[in-house]
């Protein structure tokens, strides 16, 4: 297998890891004003993702860095053409990170409410815009002979792109509700499980339409199988949630998101960014790639450091694996956190 194909596959794996992991903490953030009834429950929800949310963003940094190094032409066209949505995502992620750090700095209801609102929008905006961006990458965008994006922000807001955004938004919300149900105990656990089923049903309808549309546009036999398994996984997750099997329910949404993103990359290959202006102008794993020497060096670096990163992140999830409830946040601790 050529190194260009290997790195296309590795970048796909990095994005799958990012969306599967940060997807649930985005979901927890956007459900914060919906599921919680008081400050203690909000603390419980935030504590479910507190130890892991910043580690989940490492996958985004590595995916962006790998794209820059392995496929510089892809990176240049993508980040210049999608400049405004990517800037909005970056701003939202910064505001969201600040919210986790600053909401407990003052004992003031309005102060906390404003940071909670920032967590909500800091979770909604990236979820929606990542879906819009990846739907457009899969469908193709106007690219000229100089490998330059010739569209605008409005070009990206087409029906297919917006549907992709809604799919990712609802899938992440259901994924987050499943995670809250898995990681908490008491009333909030039951509310999260019931909400996950309702949001998951909406996500299932949207996702099936989106995957069928993607398959009709550029799918292959392999991507069709992957999309079908993704849809079955989501249905299985919803059935497990209704039966109170939260571990299997969370696994169902986890696998669904992973396979849906994998299907997009399979439908994309060997292009990395198709051109709707002329197929001859499309960026591919060959004409967008770095030199063979660069890819070889990157491969050795990945072989050494990838197991270390995966091991550290797995250890983090193992250490913070237990459920938490309002009983773990006594008044004294809450006051100190303020």
Q: What is the DSSP track for 133-171?
A: HHHHHHH-B-B-TTS-B---HHHH-SHHHHHHHHHHHHH
Q: Are 197 and 156 in contact (CB under 8 A)?
A: no
- Would you state the pLDDT for residue 338? 46
φ, ψ of residue 71 to 5 degrees: the values are: -135, 75
Longest dimension (CA), the chain: 65
- Would you state the pLDDT for residue 151? 86
Alpha helices in 50-82 (DSSP H): 53-56, 58-70, 72-81
Mean pLDDT per 10-residue interval, the chain, length 338 residues: 90 94 94 91 92 90 92 92 93 94 86 94 96 93 91 90 95 95 92 94 94 87 92 93 92 94 91 92 92 92 88 90 80 50
Q: Which of 105, 74, 80 is nearest to 7 (CA)?
A: 74
Host domain of residue 99 = 3-334
For the four alpha carbons of 188, 194, 198 and 204, in that order, the dihedral sign comes to positive
**Single pTM value for the model:** 0.92
Extract long-range pairs of 236-245: CB within 8 Å, 24+ residues apart: 237/178, 237/200, 238/196, 238/197, 238/200, 238/201, 238/204, 241/178, 241/181, 241/193, 241/196, 241/197, 241/200, 242/197, 244/193
Q: Find all residues with CB under 8 Å of 152, minimum gap 6, and list them.
A: none
The reply to whether omega before 270 is within 30° of 0 (cis) is yes
Task: Tell me which DSSP letter residue 322 carries.
Answer: S
What distance in Å separates the CA atoms of residue 78 and residue 89, rounded to the nearest whole number?
A: 14
For the four alpha carbons of 42, 44, 47 and 49, in that order, the dihedral sign comes to negative
Domain tally for the chain? 1
Beta bridge partners of 324: 184
At 271 the three-state DSSP class reads strand
């Amino acid at each position: 297998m050529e190194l260009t194909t290997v790195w296309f596959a590795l970048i796909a794996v990095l994005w799958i890891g990012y969306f599967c992991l940060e997807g649930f903490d985005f979901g927890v953030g956007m459900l914060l004003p919906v599921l919680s009834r008081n400050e203690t429950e909000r603390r419980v929800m935030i504590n479910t993702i507190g130890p892991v949310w910043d580690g989940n963003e490492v996958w985004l940094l590595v995916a962006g860095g790998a794209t820059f190094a392995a496929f510089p032409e892809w990176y240049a066209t993508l980040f210049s053409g999608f400049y405004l949505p990517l800037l909005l995502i970056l701003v939202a992620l910064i505001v969201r990170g600040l919210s986790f750090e600053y909401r407990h700095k003052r004992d003031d209801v309005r102060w906390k409410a404003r940071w909670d609102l920032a967590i909500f929008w800091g979770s909604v905006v990236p979820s929606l815009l990542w879906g819009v961006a990846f739907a457009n990458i899969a469908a193709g965008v106007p690219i000229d002979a100089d490998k330059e994006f010739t569209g605008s922000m409005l070009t990206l807001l087409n029906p297919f792109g917006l549907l992709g955004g809604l799919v990712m938004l609802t899938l992440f919300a259901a994924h987050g509700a499943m995670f809250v149900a898995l990681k908490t105990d008491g009333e909030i656990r039951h509310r999260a499980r019931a909400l996950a089923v309702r949001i998951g049903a909406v996500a299932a309808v949207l996702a099936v339409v989106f995957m069928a549309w993607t398959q009709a546009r550029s799918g292959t036999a392999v991507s069709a199988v992957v999309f079908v398994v993704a849809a079955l996984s989501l249905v299985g997750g919803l059935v497990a949630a209704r039966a109170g099997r939260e571990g299997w329910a969370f696994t169902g949404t986890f696998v669904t998101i992973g396979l849906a993103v994998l299907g997009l990359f399979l439908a994309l290959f060997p292009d990395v960014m198709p051109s709707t202006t002329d197929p001859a102008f499309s960026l591919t794993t060959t004409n967008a790639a770095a030199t063979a020497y660069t890819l070889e060096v990157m491969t050795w670096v990945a072989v050494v450091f990838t197991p270390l990163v995966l091991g550290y992140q797995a250890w983090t999830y193992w250490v913070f694996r237990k459920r938490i409830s309002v009983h773990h946040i006594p008044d004294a601790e809450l006051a100190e956190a303020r």
